[in-house]
A and B are shown apart, each in its own frame.
Chain A
Amino acid sequence: MSKKNRVAIVGVGYSDVGRATGLSLTKLTAQAGVAAMEDAGLKPTDIDGLVTHSFPNQFVSSTHTAAMLGIPDLAFYSGNVDGAAYSVAAMHAIAAIESGSAETVLTFRTVHKAGQGGETFRGGGGPQTIPGNMQLAMPYGSIAGPHWAGMYMTRHMAMYGSTEEDFGSFAIAQRKFAVANPTESFFHEELTMDDYLNSRYIAKPLHLLDCDYPVDSSSALIFTTEERARDMKQKPVFFDSWANGTTKEADFSLVEDMTHSSPWMASRRMWSRSDLKPKDVQTAGLYDGFSFIAMQWLEALGFAEEGGSGAFVRSGATSATGSLPTNTDGGACNVGRRHGANFFIEVTRQLRGTAGDRALPNNPKVGVVSNAVGGFAACALLTAD
């Protein structure tokens, strides 16, 4: 395929991250934006595009963010909340740059721990009435992500004979990377299978240790054209191919086939637009809002056989010395819920050689990142020269 309009990641940055930072959404966003500009060696006047995809109740608008950061004029901005978490911001930025709508785009995912998941529904008071289609789920107690995620796991077990030990193998492998990332990980002890199996169930078969770790965080990345990227401070990381995918059902619990949902659509589309093959990929950052999602991606992207993600992980393939080191920062289960932005950042750091002590022995030049599962998904192939 033509590579003449390649888009590059040229800067990455995080805000302070923690369980209770006391920092506002705007301050988190500002911190991450400044960090990404510093990483890229860019000034606010170098930015002409801004994307701030976030949860509806956690919204800091693009125009507010630009004003706060001293960005004088936006040629492109977007703040939609629909779709596959951070990757929607990335893909709006890429599309804007590919189309010539903007040249250098700053993107965000800001997430506050407060008000997330079930906590939203824990308030006291009288009868609670549920509008919209949620009234066809909530009266059944189907309220939070673990419920649909647990149902995906049960379906996988029924179709392929996979076991809780298979799922645990991923949590254990991912934690090894977290231990090697003491500055960013919240967890510093290796996991045993007993630790995993003895962690309480949230929605059996889904265990506590399958869930990402809610934190206050903002993540920012800067994208620009290949031409501009060549002159910048960091070695650029390029998008070779990227794609979205959806199912014809919007509700995660009602997708036609829980073992072949949107990651298969996005993967097929992504590979069809690239000369690269799964065997060329040297590191992966796979969304783990629930660890099982990352295992679905191993299968969808063609790294593991269908139903074989557990065996693939147990073989050591996703470890630092394996064929596909996966979630080398420790994943969102360990470095906190960043809605997928951490994988774009970590794979970028590995490919451009700024991963420090965590630099992979295979010196990767090709990586893959992914976001979400079920009703919508996205993935991208990243390369460095």
Chain B
Amino acid sequence: MTTEVSAPLPLPNELTKPFWEGAAKGQLVIQRCNACGHLQHAPEPVCSACLSFDLGSAAVSGTGTVYTFCIATQAFHPYFEDKLPFVIAVVELDDQPGLKMITNIVDVDPDSVRVGDRVGVTFNLLGEGFMLPVFRPIA
């Protein structure tokens, strides 16, 4: 590797800005409906539970369960080539049944990850000041 390849970086918008600003401060921030309290991810312009447009965000517990995962062994983008193999997972957060996010499971042998594992959020530098909320096993 002679040249460093940039990570695919987010282009924050009105909806995703709280997620990335939260991450930069070491918090997992999820869109929350001010009218009914529903948490939703990915963020959208309207609450899918009550159709309110009055949406905010909230720092959540940062703990959850591995719903499923795969072990990426092909990169599909040059940034990930020297990171193989790594775990791409869907984690169900403790804060609301069915509230899920795509993430990575880190600090672990990929082959030891199991559906149902308990995980907690941590933050990895993505690049250009962006921190990426990822998860690692907890007891």
A-B contact pairs, 7 of them (CB 8 A): A121-B8, A130-B11, A140-B104, A147-B70, A151-B88, A203-B71, A203-B74
Contact with A along B50-63 (1 / 0, CB 8 A): 00000000000000
A251 interfacial by beta-carbon distance below 8 Å: yes
List the B residue with the shortest CB-CB distance to A256: B98
Task: Give the complex CA separation of A174 and B49 in angstroms.
Answer: 42
B100 interfacial by beta-carbon distance below 8 Å: yes
State the 9 A-B residue pairs at the shortest beta-carbon distance, nearest first.
Answer: A150-B70, A118-B76, A158-B115, A135-B10, A204-B71, A127-B6, A155-B68, A129-B11, A203-B70
CB within 8 Å for A254 and B8 given contacts A122-B77, A158-B115: no
A347 interfacial by beta-carbon distance below 8 Å: no
Q: Which chain B residues in 32-52 approach chain A with CB under 8 Å?
A: 41-42, 48
B16 interfacial by beta-carbon distance below 8 Å: yes
CB within 8 Å for A138 and B8 given contacts A118-B77, A127-B127: yes
How many residues of B sit at the interface, in one of the four size bands? 35 or more
Contact with A along B1-36 (1 / 0, CB 8 A): 000001111111100100100000000000000000
Contact of A141 among B72, B90, B101, B115 (CB under 8 A): B72
Task: Give the complex CA separation of A126 and B78 in angstroms.
Answer: 12
Which has the most chain A C-beta neighbours within 10 Å: B16, B74, B103?
B74
A254 & B74 in contact (Cβ 8 Å cutoff): no
Contact of B74 among A129, A130, A136, A202 (CB under 8 A): A202
CB-defined contacts of B100 to chain A, threshold 8 Å: 254
B119 interfacial by beta-carbon distance below 8 Å: no
Task: Give the complex CA separation of A139 and B98 in angstroms.
Answer: 22
A139 & B90 in contact (Cβ 8 Å cutoff): no
**Known pairs A127-B9, A139-B130, A140-B102. 19 more at Cβ < 8 A?**
A118-B74, A121-B8, A122-B77, A126-B6, A127-B7, A138-B8, A140-B103, A141-B83, A142-B102, A144-B76, A146-B74, A151-B69, A151-B70, A153-B70, A154-B69, A154-B70, A203-B72, A254-B100, A254-B101
B80 interfacial by beta-carbon distance below 8 Å: yes
A205 interfacial by beta-carbon distance below 8 Å: yes
From residue B127, how far is it (CB to closest CB) to chain A in Å? 7
CB-defined contacts of A121 to chain B, threshold 8 Å: 8, 76-77
From residue A4, how far is it (CB to closest CB) to chain B in Å? 39
List the A residue with the shortest CB-CB distance to B103: A140
B75 interfacial by beta-carbon distance below 8 Å: yes
CB-defined contacts of B98 to chain A, threshold 8 Å: 256
CB-defined contacts of A133 to chain B, threshold 8 Å: 16, 42
List residues of A whose CB falls within 8 A of some B CB.
Answer: 117-118, 121-122, 124, 126-133, 135-144, 146-147, 150-155, 158, 200-206, 248, 251, 253-254, 256, 258
B114 & A141 in contact (Cβ 8 Å cutoff): no
CB-defined contacts of B9 to chain A, threshold 8 Å: 127-130, 139
Task: Give the complex CA separation of A128 and B130 in angstroms.
Answer: 13
B126 interfacial by beta-carbon distance below 8 Å: yes
Contact of B102 among A131, A132, A203, A254 (CB under 8 A): A254
From residue A181, how far is it (CB to closest CB) to chain B in Å? 28
CB-defined contacts of B85 to chain A, threshold 8 Å: 204
A-B pairs under 8 A by CB, number:
137
B123 interfacial by beta-carbon distance below 8 Å: no
Which has the most chain B C-beta neighbours within 10 Å: A143, A150, A154, A251?
A154
B41 & A136 in contact (Cβ 8 Å cutoff): yes
List the A residue with the shortest CB-CB distance to B104: A140
Task: Give the complex CA separation of A154 and B75 in angstroms.
Answer: 19
B73 interfacial by beta-carbon distance below 8 Å: yes
Task: Give the complex CA separation of A203 and B103 in angstroms.
Answer: 15
Contact of A253 among B7, B11, B90, B115 (CB under 8 A): B90
CB-defined contacts of B77 to chain A, threshold 8 Å: 118, 121-122, 138, 141, 143
B127 & A204 in contact (Cβ 8 Å cutoff): no
CB within 8 Å for A206 and B70 given contacts A130-B8, A137-B102, A139-B9: yes
List the A residue with the shortest CB-CB distance to B127: A127
From residue B38, how far is it (CB to closest CB) to chain A in Å? 13
Task: Give the complex CA separation of A142 and B77 in angstroms.
Answer: 10
